[in-house]
A and B are shown apart, each in its own frame.
Chain A
Amino acid sequence: MKSTFRGGVHPRERKELSEGAALRVFDAKGEMVFPLAQHIGKPAKPVVKRGDAVLVGQLIAEADGFVSANIICSCSGKVKAVEKRRTISGAMLESIVIENDGLYNKKEGMGEKVEEPDLSKEGILAKVKEAGIVGLGGAGFPTAVKLAPRDAAAIKYVIANGAECEPYLTCNDQLMQKYAPEIVEGLEITLKLFPNAVGVIAIERNKPKAIEAMKKAAEGKEKIQVLDLPTKYPQGGERSLIQVVAEVDFPTSKLPADAGCIVDNVGTLYAVQRAVMYNEPLFSHVMTVSGDAVKNPANLIVRDGTSFREIMEECGGLKDGLALKKAICGGPMMGLTLSSLDIPIHKTTNGLLLWAEDPLEKAEIQMTACLHCGRCTTVCPQGLMPQMMAEAAEHGDMERYETKLYGLDCIACGSCTYICPAKRPLTQTFKQVKAEILAAKRAAAAGGKK
């Protein structure tokens, strides 16, 4: 194992705002909205209709096809509508809207300890699939698919990702402190699927309490070790972790499983444990509410479908005299800005940042032409040449961009944009170019079929 990955940046952490706030449960009062597409893959298919009564833990939309995920109701009440609603990305997407009765009546048997859990491979995978678990690190890849690679015997490491390298976010820190044994159990359950694998719990050193708790929980477990890592973004990227743990670099055309690794967020492993041991599907998760503008920064266990506005209000709303300028879903490095707070959270939403100041306004003024200083090339965790990529993109030289510069291997971590003294929109350009190249390829492939 290596001590750290290559490249990376050290953005201001700001974790002190919320790291002292213990996890607490927030039960929303208002309507709950469940977009059918909140994971990678095909949108789920609704299995309820307007007027149906629903319970906590009830399936309301089922996975459509192999790469898709079930959606579980997080409250009790009535289905108000199945209609297009504004979502985090800004797009209007088909969603199930539930009138929340505030009673939180549970589906029978849900959340009770299973007497004889089925720990066979098939049993575990079936539970994970049924529970609608997706990767909670942010990407939302269906976990049941991830846990069933072509060759399970080739997996050498199952990495529990507790790095939480995004600034501000502290919810996984709190989760690890409070539910360490559960996470370790979730990892053990996952390890049953991979006969030749060991478990590695990776945590950044800025979370000493979490490291301590996890070490204690993992004590005596032969196949599990806790690995503390230097604090550096994007340490929690799966490629960064694999670079450290397995010392392998692999192109983006390959999956972690090809490199002998499975990377799961600690929140995902907790969800796996709840699903297998307590028959509880995924309808709630941890989330940090922070930022300079919020009155009481917090770490919450929130129910899926809750609106950002209710979450903000739960945290005391805005500080007096401050006007909200920017709201971010997730961390400041890879999170998305919200056009409004009247939008529901997804299963994967791990943060809400409320800012009265927008650092990008200042950055816009400071923007100059590219200096060719090369700082972007130093921080790129993939070893790409962002400066050259930006130049090729500017010149429209897609050939050079793709084949000479391997531009499609950008993981959009934002390190280059962050470090750029000229404040150039590098990552943003790369995301756009990648989308254009892939679109052109799809168009060419479709044309070829005719």
Chain B
Amino acid sequence: MSQMMLNLSAGPQTRDKWTTQFIMIMVVVALLPATIVGIAVNGVYAGLIVLSSVLTAFLTEFLYDKITGRPDTWKDGSAVVTGLLLALSLSPSTPLYAPILGSIFAILVVKCAFGGLGKNFINPALAARCFLLLSFGSSMTIFKVDGVAMATPLAELSAGRAVNVTDMFLGTGGGVIGASILALLVGGLVLWVMDIIHGQIWISIIVAFTLFMGLFGGQGFDPAYLAAQLCGGGVIMGAFFMATDYTTSPVSRLGQTVYGVMIGVLGALFRVFGNAADSFSYSIIIANLFTPLIETYIIPKPYAYRKSALDKMAGKEKVPFTKKIPKPVFVLAAITLLAGLALSGVFSMTEDTIAEQKRAENAASYQAVLPEAANFKFSSDIDKMIEQMAADVYGGGSFGKAHINAAAMGVDASGNPVGYVVSATSGDGMEGNVTLTVGLDMDGKILGIAFTELNETPGLGMKADEPAFKDQFTGKAEQQLKVVKGGASASNEIDSISGATITSRAVVNAVNAGLDFFHNVLKGGTWFE
């Protein structure tokens, strides 16, 4: 009998059916409902974004493998997952170069440059999303409905307006391509049941986020408010699909809980105290960066070395349940509390500095809109009144989310009054606040406006600061102004900036708030005497 050549190998000699590729395919399948709803709601162009993102990601990894002669890692399918996740987190009106550039960045820079699958230190799709946001600014986050740009539900929510949670839940209310919370939940829960993603991560994110929003969001545990917060801004997508990325999250169950709580708390913190619409992405990326640290210090002990097992071996009595709450729970609670306090401390400290800086900026704008004045006089009564009004929207909503920040009287060299300046903010801008100073003569005729805070879309909303728009206000002697699209004819009309209706409205709202304050409070008063 001829000598047989037998395969030799160290055991075990059999393997489970699941492969890396299978897991990646399952994640893609779980993302399909959200993809389909996204394309159905947003149209073929959204499909084109998905396609170009996925194809680019896949091709990038393929070419990288071929050019560098590395093993064929494109076969594992992880690039497809990255491309799909990126596409779903983009606006359906994003220019096509964005998903293409983003996918290349995600695969080439974030993944391959750090050693490929399993080696990247932050989530590639999220990193690419932030890369696009930083590089192309708000053209990434313009959400158009029927061709008209509109504020995101979250911006509406922070502006104190009601939002349609049902629309958000179903994904029919605008937002990114993968905005359908229902579809994301279906996919995410399937992955959870299959034990592909871990409950320790998504549950702790959602619990921590909800608790924090309820405690510090300013609206208490109002279910509608919390539901809207959970449905907006990528919380669900982040909790189920981004934060659960294996490579950038801890492996131990306890580590995953710490990581999840961190994302939930940071995400809520950024949302309550910060301004960026994409705060949730950043909170996940920050937690990604903490993963190696968590992995270094949080290592669960083998069963035999846990205290209960050691006690049992030593023949000790069982510890009553009340004393059994593991120490990490207390430590974790303490850390969360301290971090929260420290952050709010930093916030309130910097708040004063920010206010001072603003005052200095404002002084320059006063001079700009009321050049005749040699000096500006403030009134402590007016200051107090403004401070008291600060908590509420000025004018009960007639000027949108408007606030009066300051008012002063301009006087000439010999001390005679020459006019008033009013600083007003509208929270209805495309990217948040628009703050401006209105200069008025003694009768209420506008002498000019100057912006002290304007972070609108470059090339669109930012045009508000150009003479073509800004100078329209000069010389108006009206009680109130209004925005019209194209061809202002009446004297109380202001031409909208083309393509930036939201910004135009915000500017006029702020000016109107200033006018209102002048006519109803300042005019004829003797505040400044």
Which residues of A line the B interface, CB within 8 A? Answer: 6, 9, 11-12, 90, 167, 243, 247-252, 254, 258-259, 323-328, 332-341, 353, 358-361, 363, 366, 368-375, 377-378, 382-385, 387-388, 404-406, 409, 414, 417-423, 425, 427-428, 431
Cα distance, A419 to B246, chains bound together (Å): 16
A405 and chain B: residue at smallest CB distance: B299
Q: Which residues from A are CB-within-8-Å of B305?
A: 251, 406, 409
Task: Check A326–B118 contact: CB distance below 8 A.
Answer: no
Grouping DSSP codes into helix (H, G, I), strand (E, B) and loop, the A interface class, with mixed when no group exceeds half, is loop
Task: Check A414–B251 contact: CB distance below 8 A.
Answer: no
Besides A368-B19, A420-B16, 16 other A-B contacts (C-beta < 8 A): A247-B312, A250-B304, A250-B309, A259-B313, A325-B6, A337-B13, A359-B13, A359-B14, A370-B118, A373-B23, A382-B302, A383-B301, A418-B14, A421-B22, A427-B10, A427-B11
Q: Which residues from B are CB-within-8-Å of A382?
A: 302-304
CB distance from A353 to the nearest CB of B (A): 8
Cα distance, A338 to B302, chains bound together (Å): 33
Q: Which residues from B are CB-within-8-Å of A250?
A: 304, 309, 313
Task: Check B251–A385 contact: CB distance below 8 A.
Answer: yes
Which residues of B line the A interface, CB within 8 A? Answer: 3-4, 6-16, 18-23, 73, 76, 115-119, 195-196, 198, 246-247, 249, 251-253, 295, 299-306, 309, 312-313
Task: Check B4–A369 contact: CB distance below 8 A.
Answer: no
CB distance from B126 to the nearest CB of A (A): 16
Q: Which residues from B are CB-within-8-Å of A335?
A: 11, 13
Q: Which residues from A are CB-within-8-Å of B15?
A: 359-360, 363, 417-418, 420, 423
CB distance from A357 to the nearest CB of B (A): 10
Cα distance, A333 to B12, chains bound together (Å): 4
Cα distance, A358 to B7, chains bound together (Å): 8
A377 and chain B: residue at smallest CB distance: B251
Cα distance, A333 to B9, chains bound together (Å): 12
Cα distance, A384 to B19, chains bound together (Å): 22
Given A327-B6, A358-B7, A372-B118, A409:B13 Cβ within 8 A: no
Task: Check A337–B14 contact: CB distance below 8 A.
Answer: no
Task: Check B246–A368 contact: CB distance below 8 A.
Answer: no
Q: Which residues from B are CB-within-8-Å of A90?
A: 8
Task: Check A409–B304 contact: CB distance below 8 A.
Answer: yes
Task: Check B304–A167 contact: CB distance below 8 A.
Answer: no
Q: Which residues from B are CB-within-8-Å of A323?
A: 4
CB distance from B273 to the nearest CB of A (A): 32
Task: Check B251–A372 contact: CB distance below 8 A.
Answer: yes
CB distance from B420 to the nearest CB of A (A): 63
Task: Check B304–A387 contact: CB distance below 8 A.
Answer: no
Q: Which residues from A are CB-within-8-Å of B116?
A: 369
Q: Which residues from B are CB-within-8-Å of A334?
A: 11-12
Task: Check B7–A337 contact: CB distance below 8 A.
Answer: yes
CB distance from A241 to the nearest CB of B (A): 14
Cα distance, A433 to B118, chains bound together (Å): 23
Cα distance, A375 to B251, chains bound together (Å): 9
Q: Which residues from A are CB-within-8-Å of B247?
A: 371-372
Q: Which residues from B are CB-within-8-Å of A247?
A: 312
Could you list 5 examples of A-B contacts with CB < 8 Å?
A249-B309, A374-B251, A374-B252, A422-B19, A423-B19
A168 and chain B: residue at smallest CB distance: B14
Task: Check B14–A332 contact: CB distance below 8 A.
Answer: yes
Task: Check B4–A366 contact: CB distance below 8 A.
Answer: no
CB distance from A30 to the nearest CB of B (A): 14
Cα distance, A131 to B238, chains bound together (Å): 65
Other-chain contact of B117, A11, A369, A384, A406 (Cβ < 8 Å): A369
Q: Which residues from B are CB-within-8-Å of A427?
A: 10-12
Given A359-B15, A382-B304, A371:B8 Cβ within 8 A: no
Task: Check A249–B304 contact: CB distance below 8 A.
Answer: yes
Cα distance, A382 to B192, chains bound together (Å): 24
CB distance from B192 to the nearest CB of A (A): 14
CB distance from A26 to the nearest CB of B (A): 20
Given A385-B251, A421-B18, A421-B20, A332:B13 Cβ within 8 A: yes
Cα distance, A420 to B11, chains bound together (Å): 13
Cα distance, A314 to B380, chains bound together (Å): 107
Q: Which residues from B are CB-within-8-Å of A328?
A: 13
Q: Which residues from A are CB-within-8-Å of B301?
A: 383, 406
Q: 3 tightest CB-CB pairs across the interface, nearest first? A: A414-B12, A383-B303, A369-B118
Task: Check B10–A332 contact: CB distance below 8 A.
Answer: no
Q: Which residues from B are CB-within-8-Å of A248?
A: 309, 312-313
Q: Which residues from A are CB-within-8-Å of B76?
A: 368
CB distance from B11 to the nearest CB of A (A): 5
Q: Which residues from B are CB-within-8-Å of A422?
A: 19-20, 118
CB distance from B35 to the nearest CB of A (A): 23
Q: Which residues from A are CB-within-8-Å of B312?
A: 247-249
Q: Which residues from A are CB-within-8-Å of B115?
A: 369
Task: Check B299–A385 contact: CB distance below 8 A.
Answer: yes
Cα distance, A425 to B8, chains bound together (Å): 14
Other-chain contact of B119, A353, A366, A369 (Cβ < 8 Å): A369
A11 and chain B: residue at smallest CB distance: B14
CB distance from A319 to the nearest CB of B (A): 15
Cα distance, A233 to B229, chains bound together (Å): 45
Task: Check A383–B14 contact: CB distance below 8 A.
Answer: no
Other-chain contact of A384, B9, B16, B195, B302 (Cβ < 8 Å): B302
CB distance from B12 to the nearest CB of A (A): 3
CB distance from B298 to the nearest CB of A (A): 10
Cα distance, A414 to B246, chains bound together (Å): 22
Given A369-B116, A369-B117, A388:B251 Cβ within 8 A: yes
Task: Check B246–A374 contact: CB distance below 8 A.
Answer: yes
Cα distance, A261 to B328, chains bound together (Å): 33
Cα distance, A10 to B73, chains bound together (Å): 29
Q: Which residues from B are CB-within-8-Å of A327?
A: 6
Given A333-B12, A334-B11, A427-B11, A340:B302 Cβ within 8 A: no
Cα distance, A263 to B19, chains bound together (Å): 36
Other-chain contact of B6, A324, A359, A425 (Cβ < 8 Å): A324
Task: Check B117–A371 contact: CB distance below 8 A.
Answer: yes
Cα distance, A337 to B23, chains bound together (Å): 30
CB distance from B354 to the nearest CB of A (A): 41
Cα distance, A421 to B73, chains bound together (Å): 14
Q: Which residues from B are CB-within-8-Å of A387?
A: 251
Q: Which residues from A are CB-within-8-Å of B302?
A: 249, 251, 382-384, 406, 409
B200 and chain A: residue at smallest CB distance: A374
A407 and chain B: residue at smallest CB distance: B302
Task: Check A374–B20 contact: CB distance below 8 A.
Answer: no
Task: Check A368–B22 contact: CB distance below 8 A.
Answer: no
CB distance from A410 to the nearest CB of B (A): 9
Task: Check A417–B12 contact: CB distance below 8 A.
Answer: yes
CB distance from B85 to the nearest CB of A (A): 16
CB distance from A414 to the nearest CB of B (A): 3
Cα distance, A326 to B305, chains bound together (Å): 39
Task: Check A338–B251 contact: CB distance below 8 A.
Answer: no
Cα distance, A413 to B8, chains bound together (Å): 18
Task: Check B6–A337 contact: CB distance below 8 A.
Answer: yes
Q: Which residues from A are CB-within-8-Å of B117?
A: 368-369, 371
Q: Which residues from B are CB-within-8-Å of A406?
A: 301-302, 305
CB distance from A91 to the nearest CB of B (A): 13
A362 and chain B: residue at smallest CB distance: B15
Cα distance, A383 to B309, chains bound together (Å): 12
Other-chain contact of B246, A9, A361, A372, A409 (Cβ < 8 Å): A372
Cα distance, A398 to B442, chains bound together (Å): 81
Q: Which residues from A are CB-within-8-Å of B198?
A: 374
Task: Check B304–A418 contact: CB distance below 8 A.
Answer: no
Task: Check A431–B13 contact: CB distance below 8 A.
Answer: no
Q: Which residues from B are CB-within-8-Å of A404?
A: 299
Task: Check B10–A428 contact: CB distance below 8 A.
Answer: yes
CB distance from A310 to the nearest CB of B (A): 13
CB distance from B305 to the nearest CB of A (A): 6
Task: Check A360–B313 contact: CB distance below 8 A.
Answer: no
